[in-house]
């Protein structure tokens, strides 16, 4: 349970920090409380105080412990948000008994000084107000991928032992709220199925630890700890108080964000951040551990909400209800939908990538199908970033063969790990279409193939209007395709002339491999 100390020094301090005169301002002081901190928003600054609390995973009950935690938080968060995390100041007592910042008297506590950002720019607020864009989510995935790539390796953490500890911790924490909040049968199922999953993926977890996927990550990567700062998605409030929470598998870090999007019903954004991250990192093998990671994140959020509700007087009913919803979601993640394979072909400009990204949230396990784009894989094989332009040398017959072989290999690898795949490629040749269908037969999973088409005028127009697109296809590329002889395609034909919404709805009705998730067209 959370234990809050009745500290006279902090009670006095909290009152003092709430006064405008403390900061020589005539503006309003806004106070925000969490279960471990109190933040005071003044003018363009935010002052963060660690509360004197004791929890199962942290102890801030002494001044020295709070000082160390403040110093660690500053260093850790300056990795990703140096413009937000400005420094530390102390609160001291003057000879006359009054308080001041950084004086010469006795130190009463420590504060982290931060550059204030608009609370409306928090990603959870942007999401709630429908102001979060696809571009914001793509940039966020890029920021996280770059952060993980540069983070410090931590091979002594993570792996099977770390995940077993999380499961055991969840069991203890959930048990405190049985039976008055959580159904004992549901809790038992979550814990037992988590242990079964752990047994099945233990070797994969150890492999990822040894190969460098365990790093000093954020640790608390949910939408409330991300903001738009100077127009860029910025991570903040990374965990400093517990290395076991911070030194984790990078996909366990990402899983919190994916789960958070899904719990808000934003399945499309969950799919986008997932696939963009995979595109940037190539970490395709992570799909085998993702269901357990998502479940653990939802389970942790469940018992933290329950814990928080027991020590706060507002929003208790809502927190308790949300806690039960998170627990139910945790169990859902452990019973994922079976995998399937969808191939989308068509000439350049026919809308393959747009349709694929719209369909992805519907297919298979959360957060939807892995998107395999020939344009991305081709550039990865050439050793360049997907945002860069690939020269003509990357489009030889040999390079095209390598690209399609890579598609088949990656698709089979992902499907065998229990996750669905959507392949986005031209598939102009009959043998290419035969080869992708053969992948589904080898893995013994359902397959669907769609051939997109439109008028020559529309195809030309779409290619001319492309901006900052992964595809390097030009009007000349399309002209070559149009004059080439296309063999009879035995996949389902779909006209895309009327735009993505009509195409999406038509395809969704015609295919039999969709999940019933209530998500909408992007």
User: Where residue 163 falls among pLDDT bands split at 50, 70, 90?
Assistant: very high
The 10 Å CB-count burial string (b at 16+, else e) for 453-466 is bbeeebbbebbeee
Domain final residue, candidates 116, 148, 163: 116
- Looking up residue 415, the CATH number of its domain turns out to be 3.40.50.300
Residues 444-473: tens digit of each pLDDT: 999 999 999 999 999 999 888 887 778 877
Arithmetic mean of pLDDT, 126-134: 95
Arithmetic mean of pLDDT, 62-84: 93
Arithmetic mean of pLDDT, 56-64: 86
| pLDDT of 522 above 50 | no
Domain final residue, candidates 305, 333, 361: 333
Is 349 found in the same domain as 325? no
Is 140 found in the same domain as 93? no
User: Where residue 316 falls among pLDDT bands split at 50, 70, 90?
Assistant: confident
* Pairwise pLDDT comparison (497 vs 316), residue with the higher score: 497
Q: In 185-340, which ranges are E strands?
A: 214-216, 226-229, 232-235, 247-249
* Pairwise pLDDT comparison (481 vs 91), residue with the higher score: 91
Cα 417 to the center of its chain, rounded Å: 20
Residues 38-57: tens digit of each pLDDT: 999 999 999 999 999 887 77
Among the ranges given (128-142, 196-210, 225-239, 465-479), the one the predictor scored with the smallest mean pLDDT: 465-479
Is 460 found in the same domain as 396? yes
What's residue 6's pLDDT? 43
Q: Average pLDDT over the chain, rounded to whole?
A: 91
Query: Does some domain include residue 430?
Result: yes
Contact status, residue 202 vs residue 160, Cβ threshold 8 Å: yes
Radius of gyration of the chain (CA): 26
Is 294 found in the same domain as 195? yes
Give 379's contacts (C-beta < 8 A, 6+ positions apart).
Answer: 385, 386, 388, 390, 394, 470
Is 111 found in the same domain as 127? no
Query: Does some domain include residue 521?
Result: no
Query: Does some domain include residue 93?
Result: yes
Is 171 found in the same domain as 30? no
d(CA 213, CA 270): 21
Is 154 found in the same domain as 95? no
What's residue 310's pLDDT? 65
What's residue 315's pLDDT? 58
Per the structure, the complete domain to which residue 255 belongs is given by 123-333
Across-strand partners of 99?
Answer: 93
Arithmetic mean of pLDDT, 398-406: 94
Among the ranges given (17-21, 124-128, 200-204, 308-312), the one the predictor scored with the smallest mean pLDDT: 308-312
Residues 88-97: tens digit of each pLDDT: 999 999 999 9
Residues 18-42: tens digit of each pLDDT: 999 999 887 899 999 887 899 999 9
0.75 exceeded by pTM: yes
Is 91 found in the same domain as 206? no
Give 357's contacts (C-beta < 8 A, 6+ positions apart).
Answer: 271, 272, 275, 371, 522
Domain final residue, candidates 101, 116, 131: 116
Going by C-alpha positions, the residue among 88, 80, 93 that lies closest to residue 146 is 80
3 state DSSP class of 63 = helix
- Looking up residue 127, the CATH number of its domain turns out to be 3.90.1200.10
Is 370 found in the same domain as 318? no
Query: Does some domain include residue 21?
Result: yes
Is 233 found in the same domain as 103? no
What's residue 518's pLDDT? 41
Is 351 found in the same domain as 324? no
Q: How many structural domains are present in the chain?
A: 3
What's residue 434's pLDDT? 97
């Amino acid at each position: 349970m959370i234990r809050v100390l009745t500290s006279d020094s902090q009670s006095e301090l909290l009152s003092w920090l709430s006064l405008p005169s403390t900061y020589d301002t005539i503006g309003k002081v806004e106070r925000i409380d969490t279960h471990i901190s109190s933040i005071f928003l003044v003018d363009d600054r935010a002052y963060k105080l660690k509360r004197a609390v004791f929890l199962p995973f942290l102890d801030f009950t002494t001044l020295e412990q709070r000082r160390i935690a403040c110093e660690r938080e500053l260093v850790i968060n300056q990795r990703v948000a140096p413009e937000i995390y400005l420094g530390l100041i102390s609160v001291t007592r003057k000879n006359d008994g009054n308080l001041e910042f950084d004086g010469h008297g006795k130190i009463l506590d420590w504060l982290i000084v931060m550059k204030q950002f608009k609370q409306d720019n928090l990603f959870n607020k942007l999401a709630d107000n429908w102001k979060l864009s696809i571009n914001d989510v793509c940039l966020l995935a890029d920021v996280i991928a770059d952060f993980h790539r540069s983070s410090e390796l931590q091979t002594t953490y993570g792996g099977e032992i770390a995940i077993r500890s999380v499961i055991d911790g969840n069991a203890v924490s959930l048990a405190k709220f049985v039976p008055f909040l959580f159904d004992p049968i549901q809790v038992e199922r979550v814990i037992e199925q988590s242990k079964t999953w752990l047994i099945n993926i233990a070797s994969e977890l150890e492999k990822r630890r040894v190969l460098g996927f365990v790093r000093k990550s954020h640790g608390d990567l949910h939408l409330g700890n991300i903001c738009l700062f100077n127009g860029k998605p910025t991570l903040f409030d990374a965990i400093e108080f517990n290395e076991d929470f911070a030194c984790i598998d990078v996909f366990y870090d990402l899983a919190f964000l994916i789960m958070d999007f899904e719990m808000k019903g934003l399945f499309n954004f969950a799919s986008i951040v997932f696939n963009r991250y995979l595109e940037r990192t190539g970490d395709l093998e992570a799909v085998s551990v993702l269901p357990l990671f998502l479940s653990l994140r939802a389970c942790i959020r469940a018992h933290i909400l329950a814990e928080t509700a027991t020590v706060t007087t507002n929003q208790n009913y809502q927190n308790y209800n949300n806690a039960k919803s998170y627990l139910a979601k945790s169990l859902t993640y452990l019973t994922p939908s079976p995998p399937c394979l969808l191939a989308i072909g068509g000439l350049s400009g026919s809308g393959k990538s747009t349709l694929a990204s719209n369909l992805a949230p519907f297919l298979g396990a959360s957060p939807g199908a892995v998107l395999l784009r020939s344009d991305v894989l081709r550039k990865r094989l050439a050793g360049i970033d997907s945002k860069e332009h690939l020269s003509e040398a990357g489009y030889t017959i040999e390079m095209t063969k390598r690209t399609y072989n890579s598609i088949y290999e990656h698709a089979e690898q992902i499907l065998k790990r229990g996750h669905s795949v959507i392949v986005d490629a031209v598939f102009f040749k009959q043998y290419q279409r035969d080869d992708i269908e053969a992948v589904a037969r080898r893995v013994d999973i359902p397959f669907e193939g769609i051939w997109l088409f439109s008028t020559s005028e529309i195809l030309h127009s779409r290619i001319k209007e492309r901006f900052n697109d992964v595809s390097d296809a030009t009007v000349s590329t399309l002209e070559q395709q149009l004059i080439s002889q296309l063999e009879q395609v035995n996949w389902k034909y779909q006209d895309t002339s009327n735009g993505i919404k009509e195409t999406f709805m038509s395809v969704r009705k015609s295919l039999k491999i969709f999940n019933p998730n209530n998500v909408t067209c992007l």
